[in-house]
Amino acid sequence: MAENADLLALLAEMKKSMEKGQEEMKEEMRKGQKEMKNQIQSHVESKVGEIKDHVNSCIEKIEDVQSVKREIGEVKGEVERKIGEVKEKVQVKIGDLEKRLSELEDRPINYPANPDLTYSRPTVQSLTFGGQTSWTVFKTQFDVVSSANGWNNRVKASQLVTSLRGSAAEVL
């Protein structure tokens, strides 16, 4: 029986040793799980922080863009207002100029001749026609003289009448 008692004592000791080993193993597993959980949580928190920073950066950029858009809208409104003012002023000036031009067109020109200010282009002497030369030649020369002197049709007619001599004048 002593052997049985030794064997039972040995079995009891082995059982205690195994239970102690199981407890140590469970404790090690708990520690490992806790450490892994902490590492995962730390990594997740780090990533969440990075994402928050990125989101905040994006929000700031969006706010900046909205601010710039607002400023552009304000500047655009100001520019449109000023363009409207300038258009209005230009229309008033055009109206004033048209009125002044109309007044100037209606006003007779009565300026005394001042030899220092007037420019007269040189005149070509009018010809005379007495019927002795060719009418075609005279008419061509008369057209050249009238063009050079800048005569209008009325002046041409009066000059033509005064240039006729002798039998050519009798026809009138």
Domain locations in the chain?
Answer: 135-169
pLDDT at 18 over 60: yes
117: pLDDT confidence band, cut at 50, 70 and 90? low
pLDDT at 138: 87
pLDDT at 3: 85
Helix, strand or coil, per DSSP, at residue 97: helix
pLDDT at 118: 57
pTM: 0.38
Contact (Cβ atoms closer than 8 angstroms) between residue 101 and residue 87: no
- Cα distances from 153 to residues 31, 32, 80, 143, 160, in angstroms, run 123, 121, 54, 11, 10
**Count of residues in the chain:** 172
